[in-house]
Structure 1
Amino acid sequence: MNEVLINADDFGLTKAVNYGILDSHKYGIVNSTTIMMNAKATEHAIEIAKKTPSLRVGIHLVLTWGKPLLSDVPSLVDETGNFKKQGVVYGNPGDISLAELEREWSAQIERFLEFGLFPTHFDSHHHVHGIKAFLPVIRRLSEKYRLPVRNAGEHFAGIQTVTDIFLDDFYGDMVVEDYFENLKGRVIDGASVEIMTHPAYLDEELFAVSSYNDKRLRETSILVNAKLPEGFFLRFSINQVKI
């Protein structure tokens, strides 16, 4: 038997993204999502999360899109005040102040907590939490907030991960109807697995902020209709809300 976490990234990016994630959960196999705390539709996503306790909601830590929540993190931003581009961060991770990174990512987690919800886990936009140089920050955040982490690299040994295996290839040309049917031959029996997805409907805002757009609609269609193979079952838990 294999426990499966099908996570929808980018919750909060736009309202069309939020609705795509919601429908992929209500009518399909998505059972988890991770929210961006610096996006225009973040509060809309929070409203959905509070009304949908069956949808697990974690934090999608951001370092390579939009603006930081904090204003005093100069090593994280470019001359426009936006986060540095993905290629810049991956090419020069040593230019990022770990102290500033920890403060910014803590602020993103704390903003989520301020809405009265507790995250189930965390991952990151563009997988930047998997950059080896950032490991000390990831370890401290995981321990401080008692949160498991997306299993994005071998160097996560000693850090609690949300699953044993992480698959990130349901994306682009691999968004195919039989993707989930073929899981059985890819995952060893007994291992828990997370599958990254990006369901969405389309709106003008999405085309303005992301180059990955029309394939998201295709993902939504597949996720609503997909079935897991025998021996695979969805992990469910109820979000905790502050009383």
Structure 2
Amino acid sequence: MSRSQAATGPARRALIVTADDFGLHPRVNDAVERAHRNGVLTSASLMVAGDAAADAVERARRLPTLRVGLHVVLADGRASSPRSEIAQLVDEQGRFGNAMVRDGVRFFFLPRVRAQLAHEIRAQFEAFAATGLPLDHVNTHKHFHLHPTVLSLLLEIGSEYGMTAMRLPYEAGGPLLLRPWISLVRARLDRRRIAHNDHVAGLAQSGRMDEAAFIKALGTLPDGVTEIYCHPAMPGDDALTPSMTDYRHGDELAALVSPRVAAAMDAMGLPRGGFRDVFPVTTSAVKPALRVL
């Protein structure tokens, strides 16, 4: 539990429930609103260049208890900057590709590409700031912030825009080979006093966080702050993106409004909210002010 665990001893359990890809499509935005009004959703991550970003922002302004963060897109999505400013990052349509290994090598070794990457990250922070919404957290599409260059730029640029929290994409039972790197990322966040969850649920079941998956995650919740993240959307005839053809968006929405899921959370007495509810913004290490919503 970043920012406070060292000072307060063993971490208490707390829960953040986040919908990613807010702003991608009106079907996503509708699901986010429904899941917050009528279910257990406490947080959403905004794609500022998504086709339905303006609609998402309008809905968020009507939902003052929905905590909204920035979902930085550097792969498989639309950029915020004009193509002329970041031509080495995007295709002719101004979209990032999905060759993340190749792009990661370019980010690390090519200064010109890295400069354009910084320009685009700043543009996305700037676009979020222009919404006037409080910045609850930052994460990245497909968890690209595990890349050291991306993480460094997010920490540097995010500090200028009031970033205080970031998702740590570590799921219990995840690959052993990833754990040393996750530990390094955690240490970098802690050194910069960026709050973060201790665990996530939803990584192995991405696109399939249905009611059974939620109930199972709640039944095995570890100590500390857990973020359950998902990708709800209203049902439709077409996949939202080519990479989401097997996502069960409707099942994820059903889980978020499920009385069984809500009852399980209520029975556990879990403090829950957004990152700013779990980790109040302070200038020194303090115990989180956890509240039950």
TM-score range, shorter chain: 0.7 to 0.9
Deviations 1:8-29 (A, max 9, x none): 0000011111001111111111
Q: Which residue of 1 aligns with 2:79?
A: 68
Deviations 1:28-82 (A, max 9, x none): 111000010111110000000001011000011011133322121122113x243
Q: CA deviation at 1:185?
A: 5.2
Query: Of 91, 106, 117, which aligns to 2:133?
Result: 117
Residue 75 of structure 1 contacts residue 95 of structure 1 at CA under 8 Å; is this kept in 2?
no
**Structure 2 residue 94 is the aligned partner of structure 1 residue 82:** yes
RMSD: 2.2
- Stretches of structure 2 that go unaligned for 5 or more consecutive residues are 1-11, 108-112, 170-181, 278-293
TM-score (norm 2): 0.72
Q: Percent identity?
A: 26
SS in 1 for 2:88: helix
Q: Which residue of 2 aligns with 1:166?
A: 200
Structure 2 Cα separation of the partners of residues 135 and 126 of structure 1: 13
- Stretches of structure 1 that go unaligned for 5 or more consecutive residues are 239-243
Q: Which residue of 2 aligns with 1:216?
A: 249
Moved more, 52-61 or 106-115: 106-115
SS in 2 for 1:8: strand
Q: Which residue of 2 aligns with 1:182?
A: 216
**Structure 2 residue 60 is the aligned partner of structure 1 residue 49:** yes
TM-score (norm 1): 0.86
Moved more, 43-52 or 148-157: 148-157
Structure 2 Cα separation of the partners of residues 55 and 62 of structure 1: 21
Change in CA separation of 1:126 and 1:83 when aligned onto 2, cut-off 3 Å: same
Q: Which residue of 2 aligns with 1:151?
A: 168
SS in 1 for 2:188: coil
Residue 35 of structure 2 contacts residue 256 of structure 2 at CA under 8 Å; is this kept in 1?
yes
SS in 2 for 1:16: helix
Q: CA deviation at 1:208?
A: 5.2
Q: CA deviation at 1:218?
A: 0.8
Q: CA deviation at 1:103?
A: 1.4
SS in 2 for 1:222: helix
Q: CA deviation at 1:135?
A: 2.4
- What amino acid is aligned across from residue 233 of structure 2 in structure 1? A
Q: Which residue of 2 aligns with 1:241?
A: none
Structure 2 Cα separation of the partners of residues 183 and 140 of structure 1: 34
